[in-house]
Amino acid sequence: MYQVGILLVSALLILQCTTDSRFVSATVIAQEPIKVETVYDEGKDKTTVKLQPIQIAASEDKYVSVAMSPSFSFSGRRASRPEIVDFELRTVVRGRLRTDLYIVFLIDGEKTFLSSNRWAVKRPVRGRLWMGEHLVFRMPYETFVKITKAKSVEIKFDAVVFPLGEAHLQALRDFLVSLSPAEVSLH
């Protein structure tokens, strides 16, 4: 009985260690400049500014990858500070997507809930039976600024937590400057 108990504890410790190490936080190369795309739609007289996707996580587990790509739009060609930043997360998932996925942003430990639009992408990786998902959160400008000033930011998908590293936060800070350079103070 004692040996069974030791085996059980050992198995739980091994499971805990492997659970914690399955997730690998991706890094952004610090010297690499962020890539911002600006597109003007003449028909709608609307300009959209978007940070090209930056991978924030890679895993051998359910989530193959998670990337972020915030954007904002304004009327005409003259930039103005947005009220809302569309904070897009793109995932590639092994298996099925959950319809009841619960996502929360943790900004310096404080929970922030945002409304979102979601849509699935079938087979985002050629030759794989994986699924993809785009989640676009309507983030108030002030919340985006709060993220750029935070010491820690995590995005929690149910029980799976994806922390943003310093390079990710720096990319968001650099993107914030493109939102309205004259009005933003990061310090």
Q: What are phi and psi of 70, to 5 degrees?
A: -70, 155
Q: How many domains does the chain have?
A: 1
Q: Is residue 67 part of a domain?
A: yes
The reported pLDDT for the residue numbered 111 is 95
- Least confident segment among 6-10, 33-37, 79-83: 6-10
Say yes or no to pLDDT of 178 above 50.
yes
The reported pLDDT for the residue numbered 126 is 65
Q: What is the pLDDT of residues 10-50, one digit of tens each?
A: 333 333 333 343 444 444 444 456 788 989 999 999 999 99
The reported pLDDT for the residue numbered 7 is 34
Q: Is residue 8 part of a domain?
A: no
Q: Is residue 68 part of a domain?
A: yes
* Percent of the chain clearing pLDDT 70 (strictly above): 67
Identity (one letter) of the amino acid at 33? Answer: P
The reported pLDDT for the residue numbered 77 is 86
Letter string b/e over residues 88-112, b meaning 16 or more CB atoms within 10 A of that residue's CB: bbbbbbeeeeeeeeebebbbeeeee
Q: Is residue 18 part of a domain?
A: no
- For 20, the 3-state DSSP assignment is helix
- Give the residue, 179 or 136, on which the prediction is more confident: 136
Q: Is residue 135 part of a domain?
A: yes
Q: Is residue 113 part of a domain?
A: yes
How would you list the strands of the sheet with 153-157, edge to edge?
110-112, 103-107, 153-157, 160-164
Q: Is residue 87 part of a domain?
A: yes
Domain span including residue 33 = 25-179
Q: Is residue 165 part of a domain?
A: yes
Q: What is the pLDDT of residues 116-165, one digit of tens each?
A: 877 566 655 566 667 778 889 999 999 999 999 999 999 998 778 889 99
Q: How, if at all, do strands 153-157 and 131-140 pair? A: unpaired
